[in-house]
Structure 1
Amino acid sequence: MGVDFPNRQDIEDAAARIGAHVRRTPSYEVAPGLWFKLELLQHSGSFKARGAFNRILSAREAGELTDAGVVVASGGNAGLGVAYAAATLGVPAEVFVPVNAPATKVAKLRELGAVVHQHGREYAEAYAASTIRVAETGALFVHAYDQPEIVAGQGTVGLELPDVDTVLVATGGGGLVGGVVAAIGDRITVVAVEPAGAPTLHAALTAGKPVDVVVDSVAGDSLGARRIGTIPFALAVHHGMRSLLVPDEAIVEARRRLWDQYRIVVEHGAATAFAALDAGVYVPAAGERVAVVLCGANTDPATLHAETAHATG
């Protein structure tokens, strides 16, 4: 496809580079043959810290990091990962987020010392503003999901998975699912799960190339990219990955069930992968061992309480 994408060795190199800075998050078998990979316990509340550390440390090794620091555009989680990594490494960070980014994420960004710019109502608009800022300052641009170092860093999640047959991964811009399939796609089936209201990979696979989609989903704050990244798409095609779509009602119900049954609080984006199982969109074969990556917990618990109260009448 003419796109350079990371391979297993790149991901192992990333794991060695970032190992001192990120958590090896636990996996638990919560039912026979069903595992949860608890990446919500990662620094900054999601897997995004992995890619952020790999991108910044790689740039430092290459002499590409300047006093201008780093700039990232984000729906929230990528910004948190970059802000955390930058603060840990003593690097200035500016984060561009949409004006409707969750207040909990914006507050945490500022708590981590990042300069926050709120621009537009979608990730794509915040992204456009961030590129102007990079041109003005010469800062290192950290893409939320479509740089080799980012995808390789996110792929280190795959190196930590238990011995399973299949892993379900929530997908927005595709950095996590692309990294995971690059890491383990030769031995474990990786299935992308997307909100029906933000089907970036699904639409790209149908069109044969990344295309813009309309984003209208309860999980849009973390899975709200307008199109799949070129690197994740190339990896998806290379590995023959498939994408499953789940409606918002299933995402909300899966999030509620994760709390009711397992006492795990996640954001809607993280509940999306579990929704495929919970709603029967993905039905494991007899004896199939399945892992679900619960990728983020940056949410306002009050929204979970409200949804649970509504569900119970």
Structure 2
Amino acid sequence: MIYLSDVRAAARRSAGRIRRTPVVGAGPDQWCKLEYLQHAGSFKTRGMVNQIAAGAERSALPEAGIIAASGGNAGLAAAFAARELGVPAEVYVPLTAPAVKVAKLGKLGARVVQAGTEYAEAYEAATVRANETGALFCHAYDDPAMVAGNGTLGLELLEQLPDGFDTVLVAVGGGGLIAGVIAALPQHRIVAVEPETSRALNAALEAGEPVDVPVSGVAADSLGARRAGRIAYKMASDRNVLSVLVTDEAIVDARRRLWDDYRIVVEHGTAAAQAALLSGAYRPEPGERVVVLLCGANTNPADLA
């Protein structure tokens, strides 16, 4: 389990290394947390900075540096964090990772290896390599330090919305973000939003434990974990988190409307959280104050023109 004290420790550890991202109003009793403005384009930088810094604190950061596996965003976060902390980074991504993410990995100085057609296969190759080299393996979501670091955005929300809010909508892949938010906001309602075609946490909550699920759809590059993390499952289950599913069509529509209405460009996985509101998958009660986490924007905006 990850606790509020862990999130506060992560905030202290990462101070000066992550951005405080803005919150903007998006209608009556609704706000968007613009976390896609984070370094490297997603919330995962928070967790990676904390994970690597915590490894250095406990003398677990070898000369070989770090290795990560990712659909794209965690790899970008790992590459950025490693560069900022002065350690080598090697990132494994599936062959299906968007070209924009692969190119950016190289610009951040990471060695990029493409393996397999989905995250699970890249993960397997990365763990083998970490065992061979002795590098610190940085998990994309199922790691206590990663989760605690991600939760720091919840602490920011408390400061940025001093009059209060009731509910936070979180797009879920492996669960590293929602687990952090649960830890940071023990008094708030947290809603998990997943695509119908990539429903790892939803399936885990249904089955009573993490289980493998098929992965496909427009958001698979960022929400395409085959199995939810054990940390996320445990925390979501203990908290009775509401889990809702959205269609690919709803995700595409939400992404388009974020651009048309607010000139916000996000990736499809991020748009899933907004899709829950627009499609009616989640219907707030009258007066319920809702925050939508817009958590990543490593995408090609050409199809929004």
Q: Deviations over 1:105-134 (max 9, x none)?
A: 000000000000000000000000001100
1:157 deviates by 1.2
1:26 deviates by 0.7
Q: Deviations over 1:156-211 (max 9, x none)?
A: 11111132100000000000001101110x21100000000000111001100000
What is the distance in 2 between the residues matched to 1:281 and 1:304?
24
Counterpart residue type for residue 164 of structure 1: F
2:50 aligned partner: 54
Unaligned ranges ≥5, structure 2: none
What is the distance in 2 between the residues matched to 1:273 and 1:39?
13
Match of 2:24 among 25, 28, 46: 28
1:104 aligned partner: 100
Output the TM-score relative to the length of structure 2: 0.97
What is the distance in 2 between the residues matched to 1:96 and 1:156?
26
Counterpart residue type for residue 239 of structure 2: H
What is the distance in 1 between the residues matched to 2:66 and 2:303?
32
Counterpart residue type for residue 99 of structure 2: A
Match of 1:11 among 7, 13, 38: 7
Match of 1:67 among 47, 59, 63: 63
Identity fraction in percent = 60
What is the distance in 2 between the residues matched to 1:229 and 1:94?
22
What is the distance in 2 between the residues matched to 1:167 and 1:157?
12
What is the distance in 1 between the residues matched to 2:215 and 2:69?
17
What is the distance in 2 between the residues matched to 1:19 and 1:179?
17
1:304 deviates by 2.8
What is the distance in 1 between the residues matched to 2:206 and 2:57?
39
1:95 deviates by 0.2
2:183 aligned partner: 182
What is the distance in 2 between the residues matched to 1:259 and 1:121?
29
State the SS of the aligned residue for 1:31.
coil
1:267-282 mapped onto 2 (5 Å cutoff): 267-282=267-282
Counterpart residue type for residue 182 of structure 1: A
1:204-215 mapped onto 2 (5 Å cutoff): 204-215=204-215
What is the distance in 2 between the residues matched to 1:134 and 1:239?
34
1:296 aligned partner: 296
Match of 2:74 among 78, 84, 87: 78
1:261 aligned partner: 261
Unaligned ranges ≥5, structure 1: 306-313
The count of corresponding residues between Structure 1 and Structure 2 is: 300
What is the distance in 1 between the residues matched to 2:153 and 2:246?
23
Residue 145 (structure 2) pairs with residue 140 (structure 1): no
Q: Deviations over 1:37-79 (max 9, x none)?
A: 0000000000010000000000101011111000000000000
State the SS of the aligned residue for 1:194.
strand
Root mean square deviation, CA, Å: 0.7
1:246 aligned partner: 246
1:104 deviates by 0.3
Counterpart residue type for residue 61 of structure 1: E
2:90 aligned partner: 94
State the SS of the aligned residue for 2:184.
helix
What is the distance in 2 between the residues matched to 1:70 and 1:221?
22
1:303 deviates by 2.8
